[in-house]
Amino acid sequence: MPNRVLIGYDGSPAANAVIDAGAQLFPHAQAWIAHLWTPPFASTSLRQRLWTGTSHVNEFVEAVEREGEREAERIAAIGVTLAQAAGWHAEPLVARSYAGEGLQLTEAAEKMDADLMLVGSRGLGGARAVLGSVSDMAVHYTTRPILVIPHPLLAAEYAALATGPVLVGFDGSDGARTALATAARLFPTRTLKLVTIDDGQVPDDAANTPPTGGAPVTRLRVPGRHDARGRAVAEALAGCARDQAAAVVVVGTRGRSAVRQILLGSVAMATLHHAYRPVLLAPAANRNPQITSPTVATSHQ
């Protein structure tokens, strides 16, 4: 059965790249191109044009809302066209946002019962990596697997998307086992490579992995410093991904705090910023945050 994916789409080059890369990773998927919009959407000159000829504030507000929704539907339609050209069965999902777009995207993914979310990151990798506020919030609060695709990808990184192996950071923890199970479910035909960073903290039974539903698994052990934490482990994973020409790097998360905010953990967050390749975050099995945010009102074309 094709994967069901929800794309956070804003019409930017990075968002277009998410569709392109996502279609390489999940061919023939069922996709929702989700565009959230918040008026005022336009330039000062366009708002002045809308104001001209209106005699009441309410008429102006209605005009802004009307034109904002029209523009949002146009942007979403562009995303749908790109997705369909890439081989996806795609449809738009347009919602009026009241801020907190990342939360609304996670709610939309729940409502549509998506198998995973796809979002883009802004800028380059490494120290200059910036997810963007919407992607960052979605990453922290989603209860679904979420794939963050950096922009731009180099030629070799893009070429790996179609057939490259999937690397799973594995330390024997429950989060790592969830990450492995998620990778096996979403990439049933790919070779999975378990990467254990030898940092002195990995338990001896880390190699005893659960079944993966038949997906071929290769185990790798990468040397690391005994004081390795967060960034150092992420850099080791990134180096291994480069050497193995990996399509995706998969890492688990740590669950949630007492206030229901998701704790990614230092390795997961550092991997997002240093992998230079798509990174799939697999939520812990017990993640069920009680999110309170505006209800997503969607419209379909």
- Is 299 inside any structural domain? no
What does pTM read for this prediction? Answer: 0.80
- Is 163 inside any structural domain? yes
Helices (H), the chain: 13-25, 44-51, 57-85, 101-111, 133-141, 155-163, 174-186, 231-243, 266-274
- Is 42 inside any structural domain? no
Q: How many folded domains does the chain comprise? A: 1
Q: How would you classify the pairing of strands 89-96 and 30-37?
A: parallel
**Radius of gyration over every alpha carbon of the chain, rounded to an integer in angstroms:** 20
Q: What range defines the domain where residue 161 resides? A: 4-37+73-282
> Rounded CA gap, 134 and 139, in Å?
9
- Is 297 inside any structural domain? no
> Rounded CA gap, 37 and 261, in Å?
25
Inter-CA distances, 297 with 96, 117, 249, 283, 300, Å = 7, 18, 33, 25, 10
pLDDT tens-digit readout, 60-92: 667 777 888 888 999 999 999 999 999 999 999
- Is 63 inside any structural domain? no
- pLDDT value of position 256: 45
- Is 207 inside any structural domain? yes
State the pLDDT confidence band at 293, using cuts at 50, 70 and 90.
very low
Domain CATH for 93: 3.40.50.12370
- Is 86 inside any structural domain? yes
> Rounded CA gap, 22 and 7, in Å?
9
